Structure formats: structure tokens, C-alpha cells
Amino acid sequence: MATPTFGVDDDATFARAIIPQQRSQPLKLFLQFLRGDALYFGRGEPSDALTKRIRREQFAAVCKFTPLMMLGSCLNAVVLTCALRNGLPSVPVAAWGGTVIALTAGGAAGMLSARPGQPGLRDLAAITTGAAALGLLWSVAPALFLALGDSAERLIVICVSLGMMFVGSTVMASIPAAAVAFMAPVMTGLLYAVESAQTKGLEPFATILGFFGLFMLASNVARSDASVRRCATLLETEDNVLRDELTSLPNRKFFHDQMTRALARLERTGEGFAVMCLDLDGFKKVNDTLGHAAGDQTLIEAARRLERCTRRADVVSRLGGDEFALIASGASNEAQARSVAERIVQSFREPFLVDGESRSITISVGVALAPRDGMDGVTLMRNADSSLYVAKNSGRSAFALFRDRSASVAGGASEPERAPEAKELDLVFEPCVNLGALQTSGFSAALRLDQNLCTAERSDSRGSVEAFLLEKAVEAAVSWPEALRASVPVSHLQLCREGFARSVEKTLARHDFDPRRLEIELAQAPLIVSSPDAMRQLRLLRDMGISVGLKDVDGGLGELSNLVELPLTRLSLGTNLVRELGAGTISSTVARISCEVARALGLEVIAKGVENEGQLEAVRKLGCSEAQGPFFGAPARADELAGLMGFPRLAACLEGERAA
């Protein structure tokens, strides 16, 4: 799985950035030092990402200063040639100077003409070879010319050679192999000349030269060490931005970056891939009944299972909450995508062990294929999300492929999943009841997936399932009494789409439907709050007079932090909270606090999943203004709603209570 790699800035945590190894042998340590790859002396080899960053740093530093070094080498060669031309044979001096200038100019031209890209060991070897060749040429100057000149000429040779050794080793310090390859021949030539019998009187200089060489070597080690630490620190900083803190999976930003790369690769090579949206089934109940610590434990285990089901080249990310996403780079066709999705669904059939209890946490997967189902990230994610909607409504623990002929369900079940015609979609409406007026206040639209009815998208130009639901819900609600509203679910992906608010406005205008009678129900509130595009579309909808509800609050107190940010008119208590009312559990507390926060913000509260009179009484005591659930009637098609416009049983129940 492709993930960002850790980098660090201290000894205690550096091991997280490198591949653990046993203590290296001396030869391996020396080669590792020459490459400049890591902190030396047994600390291990760096990860691939750190190695690439080190290579870029090395070559950037060398390329930045090498042109100046080359210019200095040429000028020094000219100065030395001019200074020695009278006292020494002109032919060898001129030949040496010409060779230095030619090699220097050729090296500079080669670096300037090099194509940009990720440098590798071959490039390192090329620079090291060039440094060694130039060092050999500069070793000739003291070895041949020092013994032939007078004192002044000797001083010129020594100063120029030392200057070149210092400049060369400094410029190439980021690549220790190149620095040593250049410095060693020059130092050897100087030592040879100084120790030769023909240069008596310069013996003390040999000691100074030895210390100077050790100093330069130590300086190179320190600079290379600092460069590696800087690279590791930069990687850690980037990693903190790109990684989910809880699960250590890549986050949304990294996922979108990888999506962009995958699309670029698709355009360049034609290599297709699959995009999958994944959502845990039953997570909210665990999070609500056992607490956030148990929920965090579940998410961490879910992340590990997803990693085990995918390849190293795939990208598994946590988008937020219990939502994950996957780029399966090797799944370029339906069969491969189906295999990956089925493997993931099957891996979640094994119960989770949470706080010592066995819990059933399954997963639903929606799949879109590139380039068949989209050529940009927004389209692919929207289509995968639409498929996820289908999978969750088909009984969960399932996967659905966009534009596919079959949606496989964990356990071997299979049901049709082709993109149906409009007449094949089974749209149903569930009544919402105003507990004060004792009458229906509206209906929530949903897609019921019967045995032979399943969809992953519309077959016409309107796009996603949600867009089609909006169209049909408004079309049906036109014939309802004006006091009734229509509630339609809207995903965060729809809200992120540019022009979504405008498309809703056109739908309402097409049916001459009052915007104040439409409510959109939001899920995935954290994703919406974190998206400027979604928030902008949401504000445009509110400006039209459209109501906004937050769907099924039952994940704990953390969800309430989004209420202030979102322009809401209503929130709904999820079925899990309603079921636990009066039981003295955490759910009861969450429900009570949710209602108090809603009242403080001026929001109405609707209780979902009311099944009996006891639950009805409990939600009324909480101050819920509306309720919904099996107690009031099952979801029905648009032509079956006449019997759900009033509720005599509810009225009788409440009136009897008042009389008592």
C-alpha cells in the first residue's frame, strides 16, 4: 500500500524512518557512508522515501555550487599555468592546464544538459567518477610542479592546490563519495611532493596537511549527517499533514494527491484503476454503546484489515469517521475490481473483539472504474459513493459496482445491479409526524432495493442516485398538501460538486415547487464542515429557503460539535439513541444533551425509528417536535400515501394520556 513515510528529527525516533537491520559490517558501513544515505555506524538503512529525498538534497546541493567550482577550477588552472610558464617547461604546464579546462568545461556542460528527474545511484556514480578525474588532474600539479619551481612558485602551487581541495570537498560534501574521490588524490599528490627528497624544508607542512585532511573528512561526515536529519525532519512534517492520526492510514489530502497521480498515469500509459468508497456497518452502535475508546479501537482494527486485503501499490485512506477510500491500482477491469471488493467484504465477516466482547462489524463497498466510470477524481468518487449507497441499502456487508450487472453480497447472495430505467426505481416515502399538531408534517424519500430492484446510477444525464431521488421526490410532493415537506438525503460529494445548488434550483423551478417545502438531510457532517465547496453550496441552498437537517445523530457527543458550523434547521436522533431511551445508558445521556443543544441553537428535533408507545412517550418527554418510525407506518410508494396523511391511533393515544 502506498503511504507517506515517517521522518524524524531526534535519535530516539529516527528508527521509525529507517528499515531496522542488524549491525552492519565495516564494509557495508563504509559504502553506506560514501552514499551519504543515513546516520552511520550501525543505525540502519533509510526507507525508500527517505533515500529519494536524500538523493534530491544531495544533487540539488552539488548542482547549485558546481558551476562556481568549475569556474574556479578553470581560473585556477589559468593562474597556475601563467605563474609557472616561465620557470617550468611550457609544454607539460600548458597540456595540464588545457586538460583541466577541457574536463571542467565538459563536466559543467554535462550537468547543465542533464534532464530533470529523480536522481539515482547511477547519477551518484557519474558525479563521483567526474570528481575523481578532476582530483587526479589537480594531484598532478603538486606532484610534478612543486619539485621543479622555486620557493615562490612552490607557494603558489601549494596554495592553489589547497584551495581547490577545500572548495571541492565543501561543494561535494553532500555526496561523501564524490568529496573523498576529489580530495584524496589532491592530498596524495601534495603529500608525495612534500615528502619527496627534492622538496626539503616542507616536511612540517605534511603534518598540517594531515590534520587538514582529517578536518575536512569530519566536516563532510557532519554535513552529510545534518543533511540526512533535515530530510528526515521534512518527511515527518509532511507525514503529519498526510496521515490520519488515529489509524496511521493516509488521510484525505494524500488520497486526493494519489488520485491525481493515478489519473496522470492513466492518461500517460492507459493503466486503469478502481476507486472504492468503504463504510463500516454497525460502527455507530459500537461507538455509542461502548464509548469512543472502543470506537477508536474498532477503527484501528478496520484499518489493519483493509491493509491486509490490499497490495503495497494500493492506497487505503481514512476520509473521516468510519469512511474509508481505496485506489486499487491493479484493478483495471471488472473482474479484478470484484475480486478486491469481495476480499475486503469477506475479511470483515470475522467478528471484531472490542473491550473483550465479540462485535459484528461488517463493511459495504462501492466501486467505480477508471476510465469507464469517470476521468476525473470528483466523478469517480461520486460514482463510487453512489455504488456504496446501493450496497448499504441492499442489506449491507455487500459491494456494488457502478454500471455493473450484479452486486455481490458477502455470503454468496447476488442481485441485479444494472442501471435501471426510471420506471424500475422503487422510490418510497416514510411519514414524519408532528407531535404537537398530531398530524403528518412531511415524508422522507428513500430508495428501497427490492429483490429485483437495485441501482448504481441513473441511465440518463441526471447523474447520481441522489440527484434522481431529488427529482422524483419533488415530482411526487407537488401533489401533496402544501403543509407537507419532502426530505431528501444529500451526500457530501453532491455538495462538493460545483453548481449543485443551481441544479436544485432548476429542479424546483421545473416543477413549480416551493423551496420552503424541501428539506435536504445531511450525513457525514465532519466531511461537509471541512469542505469549503460543500459549505458554500449549503449556504446557497439555505438562501433559497430550503431547510437543512442533520441525519441520524447517534455517534456520540463528538457529532454535536458540527451543529454550530452547519446552517441547520433540524437534527434527527438516530434509531440507536431512540431504542436506548430510558435505559440509563450513555445513549440516553447523548440523546438528552443533543436535544438541549438543539434547543439552544433554535433547531427542531425529530426522533427516528420509533417502534412503540413507550418510545413515543420518551421522545415526547425529551422535547422532540417530530417523530418517525414503524409505529407510524412503513415506507410506501407515492401512490400509497393517502392512508398516511393522518394518524388517528396517535391522536387517541395522546388524548387518552391527557385525560388521565
First-residue to last-residue Cα distance in the chain:
65
Which residue reads 565538459 in cell numbers? 106
Predicted TM-score (pTM) of this structure: 0.43
Q: 16 and 33: one domain?
A: yes
Q: What is the pLDDT of residues 469-507, one digit of tens each?
A: 888 899 999 989 888 999 998 877 778 777 889 989 999
For residue 399, the domain's CATH number is 3.30.70.270
What φ, ψ does residue 418 adopt, rounded to 5°?
Answer: -80, 160
Q: 184 and 280: one domain?
A: no
Residues 226, 232: Cα–Cα separation, whole Å: 10
CB 44 within 8 A of CB 18: yes
Q: Is residue 40 part of a domain?
A: yes
Residues 156, 459: Cα–Cα separation, whole Å: 85
Per-residue pLDDT, 114: 59
Q: pLDDT band at residue 7, thresholds of 50, 70 and 90? A: very low
Report the alpha-carbon angle 127-121-6, nearest 5. Answer: 120
Which position has the higher pLDDT, 254 or 192? 254
CB 476 within 8 A of CB 486: yes
* Nearest Cα to Cα of residue 603 among 639, 558, 643, 573: 573
Q: 488 and 570: one domain?
A: yes
Residues 130, 62: Cα–Cα separation, whole Å: 12
Q: 330 and 426: one domain?
A: no
Which position has the higher pLDDT, 90 or 15? 90
Neighbours of 548 (CB within 10 A): 20
- Segments forming the whole domain that contains residue 185: 11-238
What is the mean pLDDT of the segment spanning 78-89?
A: 70
Q: Is residue 390 part of a domain?
A: yes
- Strand pairing partners for 45? 19
CB 93 within 8 A of CB 85: yes
Helix (H, G, I), strand (E, B) or coil at 249: coil
Helix (H, G, I), strand (E, B) or coil at 364: strand
For residue 534, how many C-alpha atoms fall within 13 Å in the half-sphere facing its CB? 21
3-state secondary structure string across 548-570:
EEEEEECCCHHHHHHCCCCCCCE
Q: What is the mean pLDDT of the chain?
A: 75
- Strand pairing partners for 225? none
Q: pLDDT band at residue 448, thresholds of 50, 70 and 90? A: low
Q: What is the pLDDT of residues 613-631, one digit of tens each?
A: 889 999 998 899 999 988 8
Q: What is the number of domains present in the chain?
A: 3
Q: 118 and 260: one domain?
A: no
* Nearest Cα to Cα of residue 84 among 16, 23, 132, 155: 155
Q: pLDDT band at residue 332, thresholds of 50, 70 and 90? A: confident
Q: 323 and 182: one domain?
A: no
Q: Is residue 592 part of a domain?
A: yes
One-letter amino acid for residue 195 of the chain: E
Q: 15 and 112: one domain?
A: yes
Q: Is residue 4 part of a domain?
A: no
4-32 burial, b at 16+ Cβ within 10 Å, e below that, comes to bbbbbeeeeebeebbeeeeebeeeeeeeb
- Residue 162, C-alpha cell as written in the block: 589547497
CB 241 within 8 A of CB 250: no
What is the mean pLDDT of the segment spanning 526-551?
A: 86
Last residue of one domain, picked from the residues 238, 262, 284 = 238
Q: 512 and 652: one domain?
A: yes
In the predicted structure, residue 24 carries a pLDDT above the cut 60: no
CB 386 within 8 A of CB 489: no
- Continuous H helices in 272-354: 283-290, 292-309, 334-347
Contacts of 146 (CB under 8 A, 6+ apart): 154, 157, 158, 190, 193, 194, 199
Residues 576, 587: Cα–Cα separation, whole Å: 8
Last residue of one domain, picked from the residues 183, 205, 238 = 238
Residues 623, 310: Cα–Cα separation, whole Å: 47
Last residue of one domain, picked from the residues 393, 416, 439 = 416
For residue 542, the domain's CATH number is 3.20.20.450
In the predicted structure, residue 606 carries a pLDDT above the cut 90: yes
Residues 437, 571: Cα–Cα separation, whole Å: 19
Q: Is residue 3 part of a domain?
A: no
- Continuous H helices in 143-243: 151-171, 176-195, 203-242
Q: What is the pLDDT of residues 103-142, one digit of tens each?
A: 777 776 666 665 556 666 677 777 888 888 888 888 877 7
Q: 396 and 489: one domain?
A: no
Q: Is residue 52 part of a domain?
A: yes
Q: Is residue 554 part of a domain?
A: yes
Q: 374 and 459: one domain?
A: no
Per-residue pLDDT, 423: 44
- Residue 301, C-alpha cell as written in the block: 482494527
Q: What is the pLDDT of residues 339-355, one digit of tens each?
A: 899 899 989 988 888 87
Residues 630, 270: Cα–Cα separation, whole Å: 51
Q: 490 and 565: one domain?
A: yes
For residue 284, how many C-alpha atoms fall within 13 Å in the half-sphere facing its CB? 21
Per-residue pLDDT, 415: 36
Least confident interval from 295-304, 316-325, 353-362, 552-561? 552-561
What is the mean pLDDT of the segment spanning 219-230?
A: 74
Per-residue pLDDT, 5: 37
Q: 381 and 430: one domain?
A: no
Q: Is residue 441 part of a domain?
A: yes
